[in-house]
Chain A
Amino acid sequence: MQFPPIKKNVETMPVQPNLLDYEHTCATFSWDEVRRSFDGLPESGGLNIAHEAVDRHADGPRREHIAIRCLSKDNKIVEFTYGDLKEGSNRFANLLNKLTVTKGERVFWLAGRLPALYPMFFGTLKNCNVFCPLFAAFGPEPIFQRLERGDARVLVTTERQYNKKVAPHLPQLPALKHVLLIDKEEDLNEQVLSLPRLLETSSSLFTIPPTDPEDMAILHFTSGTTGMPKGAVHVHNAVLTHAVTGKYVLDLHPEDIFWCTADPGWVTGTSYGIIAPLLHGITCIVDEADFDAERWYRILQDQRVTVWYTAPTAIRMLMRTPPEQRQRYDLSALRLIHSVGEPLNPEAVLWGKHVLGLPIHDNWWQTETGGIMIANYAALEIRPGSMGRALPGIEAAIVTRTSAHSVRVEEPDIKGDLALRVGWPSMFRAYLHDEERYRKCFIGEWYLTGDLASRDKDGYYWFFGRADDIIKTAGHMVGPFEVESSLMEHKAVAEAGVIGKPDPVIGEVVKAFVVLKPGIKESEDLRLELIGFGRTRLGSAVAPRELEFVGNLPKTRSGKIMRRLLKAQELGLPIGDISTLEESES
């Protein structure tokens, strides 16, 4: 079904959008000009995200403005002004310095959305270290893999997370010199220290050392189809993209109250849950609790949120609630809603218009792109189901590979690989320790995103699916190989194949097909045991929610599991030519 475009009337908007003339802005856009709009470091003239997002405001008229307002699960509020954040991050930077953590070394965070994150994040950047977040719902295995692959030097976490998920692997992490516990007043030993105790004696004065815009700033792990997670490296220069998208896509204005619901364990939670809003000197809401419809409506109302950035899973869960529920809340402050994480279905865009009173603006980007690349904009019409148009300064295209070294740029309405011309400021600079995988992402001047899409004649992009087997569940990327490897460590499992099973609420559910070792009988108890095994090792965010026993798995002649065929079988779709496959249970 084709949904008619949602037209906009700028005249009736409470705030004039920053981007009014898309074509003109694209035609005159210059990244050099964006670069010149930044302060730069006062002494060295370098570029450091922490200076631009925090110190610049703390040293100016916004010093007393609230930068971050954290709401705890039990409804307590902790606030940081820009001045507080400058001092707090200075303390953390001094602490790292004292622990002799040197430039480029990685400092990991594993603790969800707690107030301690914000001074820690900027302190890490100030000391020219690299921030790497871990999702708090990961189990011990994904955490260990990332700490190890990311050469973690310091980990900041809670006592509970440490005891449950990190301590068992500590002897296998020799590079991890210090674990800092945010909720412990005393040190556990020489390696596991109390963060509050260390901060007490740390100075609030710190001068950011010279920082090259190309210095590594943030490391985000993302899942691959084959092999273990990849560490996408981002540099301080990414801040240019964060500023531009904050201005043109999120449409931030000085008095905005902005709420990004993403967890900092994922790239949206750092690029837009921390950096972009602070670059614009506004107030950012952070909620420690997970999704709850009543709570979210209450936050939108009580915090007078003006711009809201959320995800399709949350929107579809809100859609399940009766519209009367929303009517009990005053959402009159809200003027703009954005969504990211997976394609937003047209029905959800329209539901926003009818129930929330505002259409929802979908946008598209990836861990590798560092910031929003394609978006629906406040002043421009929305075509429901489309991810929108390319950001000014970004050249997107639909391409088809013609050889290992060349692509053909397609005309409108042709389905192909969504690609971006290389060179935008927040482009990932490497997969850590994996040059080959990094190079494979590029053909000539194009970065191939792995997403299949088409572009209409007006430049709106439409998503079709992934070109690989990556699973997108509740907005998170899950690599099937990672899940299969973990399941195969169970003594009863001979083989496992893992797919994303389409789900109307969370996009895809992780489903495992398991072949048992000879002599082992299928049973409900064993099925539950394996689900529990996955959850214990991988954590609830990654582990399969569904598990089915099969006699064997469809494979290519070279022995590779055909996940696409598993998925087709699951969905009852035609499976096409299987002449190259071994026999499989149908």
Chain B
Amino acid sequence: MTEKTLQDILFKELKKLAPECDPPRVAPNENIRDALDIDSYSFLQLLVAINEQTGIDIPEADYAKVSTIGGMLSYLYARLS
């Protein structure tokens, strides 16, 4: 799985939760929940969906590392490779 594929999965799942938003336009260092108006429950759904599609489990202890688009992509990519 390439970095591009990961990014596509993330953007697609974000679009499902906040269809009115344009995830690629969110700055990589902006907090995902704040930028897309996503609550903690929806954020959890996002992580479940990512897990289903990539096999990567993100434990609660690492949530701070995946709070931004940039952080999330680096985190996922590191675990793929």
| Contact yes or no, A505 B41, CB < 8 A | yes
| Contact yes or no, A313 B18, CB < 8 A | no
A137-B19 contact given A290-B33, A294-B64, A317-B44, CB 8 Å threshold: no
Cβ-based interface call for A532 (8 A): yes
Residues B59-78 near A (CB distance < 8 A): 59-61, 63-64
| Contact yes or no, A293 B63, CB < 8 A | yes
**Nearest CB on B from A170, distance (A):** 21
For B33, list chain A residues within 8 Å (CB): 290
Which A residue sits closest to B31, measured CB to CB?
A: A73
Cβ-based interface call for A13 (8 A): no
Cβ-based interface call for B53 (8 A): no
Cβ-based interface call for B52 (8 A): no
Residues B19-36 near A (CB distance < 8 A): 19-21, 31, 33
Q: Could you tell me the distance between the alpha carbons of A307 and B41 in the complex, rounded to whole angstroms?
A: 25
**Nearest CB on B from A532, distance (A):** 3
| Contact yes or no, A536 B20, CB < 8 A | yes
Residues A291-330 near B (CB distance < 8 A): 291-295, 313, 317, 320-322, 325
| Contact yes or no, A294 B61, CB < 8 A | yes
Cβ-based interface call for A456 (8 A): no
| Contact yes or no, B63 A533, CB < 8 A | no
Which B residue sits closest to A536, measured CB to CB?
A: B20
A545-B42 contact given A528-B15, A528-B16, CB 8 Å threshold: yes
For A295, list chain B residues within 8 Å (CB): 64
Cβ-based interface call for B40 (8 A): yes
**Nearest CB on B from A327, distance (A):** 12
Cβ-based interface call for B50 (8 A): no
Q: Could you tell me the distance between the alpha carbons of A516 and B40 in the complex, rounded to whole angstroms?
A: 31
Residues A276-292 near B (CB distance < 8 A): 290-292
**Nearest CB on A from B62, distance (A):** 9
Cβ-based interface call for B37 (8 A): yes
Which A residue sits closest to B15, measured CB to CB?
A: A528
Cβ-based interface call for A474 (8 A): yes
Q: Could you tell me the distance between the alpha carbons of A474 and B31 in the complex, rounded to whole angstroms?
A: 21
B20 is contacted by which of A73, A325, A532 (Cβ under 8 Å)?
A532
| Contact yes or no, A294 B40, CB < 8 A | no
For A293, list chain B residues within 8 Å (CB): 60, 63
Which B residue sits closest to A530, measured CB to CB?
A: B19
Q: Could you tell me the distance between the alpha carbons of A541 and B40 in the complex, rounded to whole angstroms?
A: 11
Which B residue sits closest to A531, measured CB to CB?
A: B19
| Contact yes or no, B37 A137, CB < 8 A | yes
Q: Could you tell me the distance between the alpha carbons of A541 and B38 in the complex, rounded to whole angstroms?
A: 9
Interface size, chain A (Cβ < 8 Å)? 28
For B63, list chain A residues within 8 Å (CB): 292-294
**Nearest CB on A from B48, distance (A):** 10
| Contact yes or no, B60 A294, CB < 8 A | yes
**Nearest CB on B from A339, distance (A):** 17
**Nearest CB on B from A546, distance (A):** 11
Interface size, chain B (Cβ < 8 Å)? 20
| Contact yes or no, B40 A291, CB < 8 A | yes
**Nearest CB on A from B69, distance (A):** 17
Q: Could you tell me the distance between the alpha carbons of A474 and B43 in the complex, rounded to whole angstroms?
A: 14
**Nearest CB on B from A243, distance (A):** 32
Q: Could you tell me the distance between the alpha carbons of A539 and B20 in the complex, rounded to whole angstroms?
A: 11
| Contact yes or no, A532 B37, CB < 8 A | no
Per-residue interface assignment for chain A, residues 485 to 525, with 1 indicating a CB less than 8 Å from any chain B CB and 0 otherwise? 00000000000000000000110000000000000000000
Which A residue sits closest to B34, measured CB to CB?
A: A73
Q: Could you tell me the distance between the alpha carbons of A321 and B39 in the complex, rounded to whole angstroms?
A: 17
| Contact yes or no, A325 B18, CB < 8 A | no
| Contact yes or no, B20 A533, CB < 8 A | yes
Q: Could you tell me the distance between the alpha carbons of A290 and B60 in the complex, rounded to whole angstroms?
A: 14
| Contact yes or no, B40 A292, CB < 8 A | yes
Cβ-based interface call for A529 (8 A): yes
| Contact yes or no, A290 B20, CB < 8 A | no
For B37, list chain A residues within 8 Å (CB): 137, 535, 539-540
Q: Could you tell me the distance between the alpha carbons of A539 and B64 in the complex, rounded to whole angstroms?
A: 24
**Nearest CB on B from A362, distance (A):** 20
A528-B40 contact given A290-B33, A293-B63, A294-B61, CB 8 Å threshold: no
A137-B39 contact given A294-B61, A294-B64, A535-B20, CB 8 Å threshold: yes
| Contact yes or no, B18 A532, CB < 8 A | yes
B19 is contacted by which of A292, A505, A529 (Cβ under 8 Å)?
A529
Which A residue sits closest to B37, measured CB to CB?
A: A540
Which A residue sits closest to B16, measured CB to CB?
A: A528
Q: Could you tell me the distance between the alpha carbons of A293 and B44 in the complex, rounded to whole angstroms?
A: 11
| Contact yes or no, A474 B44, CB < 8 A | no
**Nearest CB on B from A548, distance (A):** 15
| Contact yes or no, B39 A541, CB < 8 A | yes
Q: Could you tell me the distance between the alpha carbons of A321 and B42 in the complex, rounded to whole angstroms?
A: 16
| Contact yes or no, A540 B38, CB < 8 A | yes
For A317, list chain B residues within 8 Å (CB): 40-41, 44
| Contact yes or no, B41 A313, CB < 8 A | yes
Which B residue sits closest to A293, measured CB to CB?
A: B60
**Nearest CB on B from A304, distance (A):** 22
**Nearest CB on B from A545, distance (A):** 7
| Contact yes or no, A290 B64, CB < 8 A | no
For B21, list chain A residues within 8 Å (CB): 532
**Nearest CB on A from B10, distance (A):** 16
| Contact yes or no, A290 B19, CB < 8 A | no
Question: Which 4 residue pairs are nearest across A and B when measured between Cβ atoms?
Answer: A532-B20, A532-B19, A528-B19, A291-B40
B contacts, CB < 8 Å to A: 15-16, 18-21, 31, 33, 37-42, 44, 59-61, 63-64
- Give 13 A-B contacts (CB < 8 Å), ordered by A residue: A137-B37, A290-B33, A292-B40, A293-B63, A320-B44, A322-B59, A325-B60, A325-B61, A505-B41, A505-B44, A532-B20, A533-B20, A539-B37
Sample of 14 further A-B pairs with CB below 8 A, known A295-B64, A532-B20: A137-B37, A290-B40, A292-B63, A313-B41, A317-B40, A322-B59, A325-B61, A474-B39, A505-B41, A528-B16, A531-B19, A532-B21, A539-B37, A540-B39
